[in-house]
């Protein structure tokens, strides 16, 4: 009986581990596509007028950063933008247009994402992921524009 309980506990732990992870499905040039889901914690940011950012993006921190797929030769910082931008703005409660005098919005959250895609094209690109749900978040903070001295 004790062995059966131990076996069931181990199987349950394996199922939980496989429920949160990504599996490489295919590669197409510089892009790699993953199936599965991932739970990550970190910071989100939106810059209203920034030519380098691709909308609302997320920067995993701590142990979550290690979950982001990277090949051995990929030295990029672990971050991604949301492939479903309108839903991401709504779920994270970030205004898609900022009031006058504010240039960015930021906050922290724990998210569940899917459909992860890495893009290692040698240019200004980002990984992409579909925001499934927000598990926890703190209120979004609007940041004023910096004024030149």
pLDDT of residue 145 exceeding 60:
yes
Q: Give the containing element (helix H, strand E) for 17.
A: helix 2-19
> pLDDT tens digits for 108-129?
999 999 999 999 988 878 999 9
- Domain coordinates of the chain in residue numbers? 21-144
* Model confidence pTM above 0.85: no
Lowest-pLDDT choice from 7-16, 63-72, 94-103, 109-118: 7-16
How far is Cα 22 from Cα 78, in angstroms, rounded to an integer?
15
Q: Are 19 and 37 in contact (CB under 8 A)?
A: yes
């Amino acid at each position: 009986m004790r062995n059966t309980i131990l076996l069931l506990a181990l199987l349950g732990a394996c199922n939980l581990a496989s429920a949160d992870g990504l599996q490489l499905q295919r590669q197409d040039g510089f892009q790699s596509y993953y199936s599965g889901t991932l739970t990550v914690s970190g910071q989100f940011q939106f810059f209203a007028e920034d030519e380098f950012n691709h909308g609302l993006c997320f920067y995993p921190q701590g142990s979550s950063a290690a979950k982001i797929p990277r090949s051995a030769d990929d030295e990029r910082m672990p971050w991604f933008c949301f492939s479903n931008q309108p839903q991401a703005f709504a779920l994270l409660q970030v205004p898609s247009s900022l009031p006058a005098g504010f240039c960015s919005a930021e906050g922290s959250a724990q998210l569940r994402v899917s459909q992860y895609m890495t893009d290692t094209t040698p240019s200004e690109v980002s990984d992409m992921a579909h925001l499934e749900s927000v598990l926890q978040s703190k209120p979004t903070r609007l940041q004023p524009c910096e004024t030149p001295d």
